[in-house]
Amino acid sequence: IFLFQHFCAIIHGCHHLQPTVGRQKVGSRVPTGPVSLELLLLVNCIPIKRGINSPCTISFFFFGINFNFLLCFRSRNDVQTCTSWNAPIIWEGMFNPSHYDQIHRNKGSSVALTVFAVGRYLDAYLEAFLNSSEQHFMSSLPVTYYVFTDSPELVPNINLAPNRHLKVIEVERHTRWQDISMMRMKAISDVIESDIRHHATHVFCFDVDQVFTGRFGPEALGDSVALLHAHYYHLPRMLFTYDRNPKSKAFMKTGDFYYHAAVFGGSWKSMKALTEACYRSIIADKENEVEALWHDESHLNRYFWLHKPSRVLSPEYCWDTSIGYRSDIQVYRQAPWFDSRPQKLNCQGRKSDPTA
């Protein structure tokens, strides 16, 4: 009876969460009471109903650590909060930040952030990216930045908080940004093997031409993490820009979602497998004189189609403000870095060459 009362209290709390207007503080609509041992045992022993509009309405938990019990799926009945393979889709209002901060601190989680700043990308974007990440990215956890650049001497000095470090890795500069984008898979795989796996539990990969504008915390961590593309999450699958060329290793007839290559992550083991697989596909295409429609993003989408991500981030984790207002986007956690040069991102959220 005591356990059942705890369970009912949580469900009752989620049921009465009310939507708010505009962008609110993350977690402001989530119950903030302590998570008791009794509740952890309960949700790991019985099936629970996940959410009214969620495609995965029933999920079974067994003994062991499963951080999904911290998510309140019923708090967002305006969006899809779970995939057909039972991976949560993380939206504002589904979680309490302090719970995730505490549980990952206790677990000893640490994060490696990789970012490429080659050519004019370094001067134009890197400093703003790093400064904003110091404010908003995994601020409760140890973080090491891995900056890949062709000009190590030009990497700006950033004031880093305790347990935050920066490592610079020199890479070759390619003529086309498309080649830089695709070859990063090989570079990331190599540094995971030589360095990251010894120091970090998780890896996140970012494009440099964006800034953090809100909390990007441990609620985003998972074994394999993909991001819903802001320009496609509202569209039918027939409009997704998968690579339709059967000659390419990135070829897809259909898929689950359209994922954005500006943000992806996971455990270091999963990220090593992902980057190695994408690199092999890219090299195979090059040998066959084929180039995927959207380069590494096309290969990433195929990989996540074949190897389903365990966690999916909503578009608020990389929202393109040029889209305008959307009622389901209640907080901007990251956004493109728009400068004075016209059309840094085109209408489909695609990059143009900053060296042009």
User: Which residues form the catalytic set?
Assistant: 297
CB atoms within 10 A of CB 283: 15
Residue 326's nearest CA partner among 337, 334, 338, 315 is 315
Confirm whether residue 150 is marked as ligand binding: no
Confirm whether residue 171 is marked as ligand binding: no
Residue 35's nearest CA partner among 63, 4, 69 is 69
Confirm whether residue 229 is marked as ligand binding: yes
Confirm whether residue 289 is marked as ligand binding: no
Q: Exposure string (b/e) for 258-278, b if CB count within 10 Å is 16 or more?
A: bbbbbbbbbbbebbbbbbbbb
Return d(Cα 356, Cα 348) in angstroms, integer: 19
Amino acid at 52: I
For the chain, the first-to-last Cα distance in angstroms comes to 68
Q: Are 145 and 236 in contact (CB under 8 A)?
A: no
Return d(Cα 253, Cα 234) in angstroms, integer: 19
Residue 221's nearest CA partner among 105, 129, 134 is 105
Confirm whether residue 320 is marked as ligand binding: yes
Confirm whether residue 207 is marked as ligand binding: yes
Question: What does the block give as tokens for 79?
Answer: 């969006």
Please give the full DSSP string across 326-347, using - where no structure is assigned: -TT----SEEE---SSTTSB-T
Confirm whether residue 209 is marked as ligand binding: yes
Confirm whether residue 325 is marked as ligand binding: no
Q: Exposure string (b/e) for 32-70, b if CB count within 10 Å is 16 or more?
A: eeebeeebbebbeeeebebbeebebeebebeeeeebbbb
Return d(Cα 189, Cα 27) in angstroms, integer: 34
Binding residues for UDP-N-acetyl-alpha-D-galactosamine: 116-118, 121, 207-209
Binding residues for Mn(2+): 207, 209
Binding residues: 116-118, 121, 207-209, 229, 241, 297, 320
